[in-house]
């Protein structure tokens, strides 16, 4: 039976059940896990995503930093039924435990606070000892306990020896310390029995080590009896191209093969940089699914195989990858010019959009519609994977599971902290809190949140991921002491924030995917002004380039979309229903897409590179497919006059008189500097029509006082 354990982390560590999420979130936060996962996500799934090492280290930190007064077997009660032989513990922890606690039973009945007085050796402190204990508590919930293979100690020793042989003496001290720990923990230093001689270099010793390992594998293979067969052995397959080797690379669990058998890793240079042919004794790749078994997989695979090697490599490494490779790194790996990579990516995106809108791509487009409706406004990655039996299946030409492709093709939702959300996340969580006030039951809360598009399968996890919301004895409780700022009152949000309207006919993007819109204010719909000179927060520099100001918020730093005026998007050449891929400083890829309004999917890579903080102002401009940005840090302008504050809003920081400030602002919002409005009243009217009311509010008192 291969059932998934429903046990969550709060069941393993009961102290977490009574703690506030905010108290432990800093330690337990993980980029690929939903907020509050320790209350809702099964432990085996957590371990599949984050790994036992990460989780054990987090538990050790909590035990040492927050619950050091609890004995370890009180913090993790399952330790009471766990018998561990000291010989099963690696050095230097084993020696530290024997020298202090004396044995396993004495160790787990002690608290971290008491351990601080034990006098641990310098190379192994309290946190290191406790992390070993938490690893033993976590390990039974890994897939290994269901019959999976255990890692080979011999291969671990060989890996450490190979690293030691290749690492130069000039490596940083902390790298040498890390290698020394691995050497002691695995016994790799004692395992060296071959005298390589003083004249041999580390590279020579490493090559000899690898040859010896290969010879040993050949001997093992020769000892196995070959099955009788009259069929001649097949000829070896041709050596794959570099692009094929990249697209066939496993995305995760690279040491696990078919039926979770352990593959033998190859220690050496990265595969993309190797020139030799693959090993003859390498394990066979997983056989692709048969044609007809997965129609969606076959359809997408046929599309990707029709592309060239470069386009397919870009799709696998950048477009559909969980951690996209930068253009520069991919250029180095493929030995291709950066410009060719950019051109290939634009070609891939355009072909995808055209294919999804064509009859050939109709089944995939329909699948995206069906899945979008099934998942609702917010869903976890787990629910997406289990929403269709084909989602975990790999697309052979990309070595990428279908669910990763689906996430990329979604145009009505984005990934945010482990959630696929069809609306602005902060706004949706704020609405959630408003709807569940009064302590409704889980059933009643589900009915209320159904108006927001929250489906029953995601209800509990979504509630627990909302700040200040918890579930107790079947009822939803809101802790008002947990602050949560209300979202900005936009025109689309002001009319009614309690529910999402039903999709109306024709409410789709250019490629046919659904768009969810919030109810609009009851007023005549105005067509957007498509002129950059009349677009808010857009200013023309003396060199003729137009810059757009982004007022940075905490949501932007967390990956929220950043809207831009339609006039500025049109100025850049973007049209409704299309997207524009831009290369930012550092070769980061930014996508500007025009759905119901133009917006960057996220500026987080750019904002992080600029070290931006909430309150900063970032000015962006585009030249061709390259985006440039300048950060204007938030500053205390209390002692500055209104004109200085107004100039700060257009990115001008030099001092200027009122008359000079008006002239500068007039030039910055006009295409023709000779026709710039010089009359103060006319200038204020133009700024108001543009939507630059913040500038108007700074200038108006000064102009009134002057007159």
The per-residue pLDDT for 204 is 47
Give the chain's domains with CATH numbers: 9-146 (no CATH), 153-218 (no CATH), 295-416 (no CATH), 423-483 (1.10.10), 532-632 (2.40.330.10), 642-706 (no CATH)
Checking if the pLDDT of 542 tops 50, the result is yes
How far apart (Å, rounded) are the C-alpha atoms in residues 15 and 676? 66
DSSP 63: H
Q: Which residue has the higher pLDDT, 212 or 261?
A: 212
Checking if the pLDDT of 307 tops 50, the result is yes
Average pLDDT for 379-407 = 88
Give the position of tokens 């320790």: 38
Give the position of tokens 């923990």: 185
Average pLDDT for 21-29 = 86
Checking if the pLDDT of 227 tops 60, the result is no
pLDDT band at 674 (very low <50, low <70, confident <90, very high): low
- Outline where 362-476 has alpha helix (H): 362-375, 381-386, 402-409, 425-435, 442-450, 456-465
Range among 186-200, 214-228, 609-623, 669-683 rated most confident: 609-623
Which run of H or E residues covers position 593? Answer: strand 589-594
Tokens read off for 139:
């390990």
The per-residue pLDDT for 171 is 81
Tokens read off for 365:
């487009």
For 34-58, write each residue's pLDDT tens digit.
888 888 888 888 888 887 888 888 9
CB 668 within 8 A of CB 540: yes
How far apart (Å, rounded) are the C-alpha atoms in residues 687 and 536? 8
148-157, 264-273, 601-610, 616-625: lowest mean pLDDT where? 264-273
How far apart (Å, rounded) are the C-alpha atoms in residues 676 and 665? 9
User: Residues of the chain with pLDDT > 70: what percent?
Assistant: 73
Give which of 485, 498, 515 is closest to 597, Cα–Cα.
515
How far apart (Å, rounded) are the C-alpha atoms in residues 25 and 346? 39
Give the position of tokens 């759905």: 595
Q: Which residue has the higher pLDDT, 214 or 701?
A: 701
Checking if the pLDDT of 237 tops 60, the result is no
The per-residue pLDDT for 511 is 40
Torsional sign, CA 687, 690, 693, 695: negative
57-61, 264-268, 482-486, 653-657: lowest mean pLDDT where? 264-268
Checking if the pLDDT of 72 tops 90, the result is yes
433-447, 575-589, 657-671: lowest mean pLDDT where? 575-589
pLDDT band at 21 (very low <50, low <70, confident <90, very high): confident
Local structure of 441: helix, strand or coil: strand
For 152-203, write each residue's pLDDT tens digit.
455 566 677 778 877 888 888 778 777 877 776 655 665 443 333 444 444 4
14-28, 135-149, 375-389, 660-674: lowest mean pLDDT where? 135-149
192-206, 378-392, 578-592, 664-678: lowest mean pLDDT where? 192-206
Checking if the pLDDT of 484 tops 90, the result is no
268-282, 374-388, 484-498: lowest mean pLDDT where? 268-282
Give the position of tokens 């009896």: 225
Checking if the pLDDT of 548 tops 90, the result is yes
Q: Which residue has the higher pLDDT, 127 or 506?
A: 127
State the pairing for strand pair 589-594/579-583: antiparallel
207-221, 330-344, 377-391: lowest mean pLDDT where? 207-221
How far apart (Å, rounded) are the C-alpha atoms in residues 638 and 239? 68
Q: What is the mean pLDDT of the chain?
A: 75
How far apart (Å, rounded) are the C-alpha atoms in residues 425 and 420? 9
CA atoms within 13 A of residue 568's CA, in its CB half-sphere? 29
Average pLDDT for 256-273 = 39
For 445-471, write each residue's pLDDT tens digit.
999 898 888 999 889 888 988 888 888
Q: Which pairs count as long-range contacts for 646-649, CB under 8 Å and 24+ apart, including other chains?
A: 646/695, 646/698, 646/699, 648/617, 649/549, 649/617, 649/692, 649/694, 649/695, 649/698
Q: Which residue has the higher pLDDT, 282 or 692?
A: 692
pLDDT band at 62 (very low <50, low <70, confident <90, very high): very high
The per-residue pLDDT for 17 is 84
The per-residue pLDDT for 157 is 64
Average pLDDT for 235-257 = 38
Looking at the whole model, is its pTM more than 0.85?
no
The per-residue pLDDT for 399 is 85
CA distances from 503 to 498, 513, 671, 684 (A): 16, 11, 40, 40
CB 127 within 8 A of CB 52: no
């Amino acid at each position: 039976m291969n059932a998934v354990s429903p046990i969550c982390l709060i069941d393993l560590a009961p102290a977490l059940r009574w703690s506030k999420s905010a108290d432990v979130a800093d330690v337990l936060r993980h980029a690929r896990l939903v907020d509050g996962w320790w209350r809702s996500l099964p432990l085996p799934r957590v371990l599949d995503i984050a790994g036992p090492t990460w989780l054990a280290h987090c538990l050790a930190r909590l035990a040492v930093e927050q619950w050091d007064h609890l004995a370890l077997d009180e913090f993790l009660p399952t330790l009471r039924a766990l018998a561990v032989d000291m010989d099963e513990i690696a050095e230097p922890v084993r020696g530290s435990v024997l020298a202090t606690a004396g044995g396993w039973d004495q160790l787990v009945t002690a608290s971290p606070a008491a351990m601080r007085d034990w006098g641990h050796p310098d190379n192994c402190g309290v946190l290191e000892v406790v992390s070993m204990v938490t690893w033993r508590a976590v390990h039974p919930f890994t897939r290994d306990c269901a019959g999976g293979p255990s890692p080979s100690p011999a291969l671990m020793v060989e890996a450490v020896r190979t690293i030691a042989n290749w690492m130069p003496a000039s490596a940083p001290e902390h790298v040498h310390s890390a290698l020394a720990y691995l050497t002691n923990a695995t016994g790799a230093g004692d395992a060296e029995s071959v005298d390589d001689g003083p004249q041999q270099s580390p590279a020579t010793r490493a090559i000899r080590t690898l040859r010896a390992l290969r010879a040993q594998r050949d001997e093992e293979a020769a000892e196995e009896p070959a099955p009788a067969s009259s069929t001649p052995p097949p000829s070896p397959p041709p050596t794959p191209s570099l692009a094929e080797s990249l697209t066939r690379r496993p995305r995760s669990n690279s040491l696990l093969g078919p039926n979770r058998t352990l593959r033998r890793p190859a220690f050496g240079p990265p595969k993309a940089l190797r020139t030799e042919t693959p090993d003859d004794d390498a394990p066979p790749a997983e056989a692709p699914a048969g044609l007809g078994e997965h129609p969606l997989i076959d359809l997408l695979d046929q599309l990707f195989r029709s592309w060239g090697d470069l386009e397919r490599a870009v799709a696998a490494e950048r477009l559909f990858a969980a951690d996209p490779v930068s253009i520069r790194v991919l250029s180095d790996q493929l030995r291709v010019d950066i410009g060719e990579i950019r051109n290939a990516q634009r070609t891939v995106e355009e072909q995808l959009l055209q294919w999804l809108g064509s009859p050939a791509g109709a089944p995939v487009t329909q699948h995206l519609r069906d899945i979008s409706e099934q998942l609702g406004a917010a869903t976890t990655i787990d629910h997406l994977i289990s929403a269709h039996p084909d989602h975990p299946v790999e697309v052979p030409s990309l070595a990428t599971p279908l669910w990763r492709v689906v996430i990329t093709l979604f145009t009505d939702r984005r990934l945010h902290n482990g959630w696929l959300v069809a609306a602005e996340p902060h706004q949706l969580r704020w609405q959630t809190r408003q709807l569940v006030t009064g302590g409704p039951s889980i059933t009643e809360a589900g009915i209320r949140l159904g108006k927001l598009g929250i489906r029953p399968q995601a209800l509990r996890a979504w509630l627990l991921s909302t700040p200040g919301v918890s579930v107790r004895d079947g009822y939803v409780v809101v802790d008002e002491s947990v602050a949560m700022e209300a979202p900005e009152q936009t025109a689309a949000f002001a009319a009614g924030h309690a529910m999402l309207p039903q999709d109306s006919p024709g409410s789709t993007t250019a490629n046919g995917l659904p768009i969810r819109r919030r109810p609009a204010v009851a007023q005549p719909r105005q067509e957007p002004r498509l002129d950059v000179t009349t677009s808010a927060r857009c200013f023309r520099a003396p060199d003729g380039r137009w810059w757009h100001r982004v007022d940075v918020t905490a949501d932007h730093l967390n990956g929220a979309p950043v809207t831009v005026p339609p006039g500025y998007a049109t100025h850049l050449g973007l049209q409704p229903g299309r997207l524009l891929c831009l290369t930012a400083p550092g070769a980061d890829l930014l996508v500007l897409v025009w759905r119901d309004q133009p917006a960057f999917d996220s500026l987080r890579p750019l904002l992080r590179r600029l070290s931006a903080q909430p309150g900063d102002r970032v000015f962006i401009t585009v030249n061709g497919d390259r985006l440039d940005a300048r950060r204007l840090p938030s500053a205390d302008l209390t002692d500055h006059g209104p004109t200085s504050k107004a100039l700060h809003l257009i990115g001008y920081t030099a001092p200027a008189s009122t008359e000079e400030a008006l002239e500068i602002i007039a030039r910055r919002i006009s295409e023709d500097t000779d026709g710039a409005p010089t009359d103060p009243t006319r200038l204020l009217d133009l700024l108001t029509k543009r939507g630059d009311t913040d500038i108007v509010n700074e200038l108006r008192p000064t102009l009134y006082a002057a007159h």
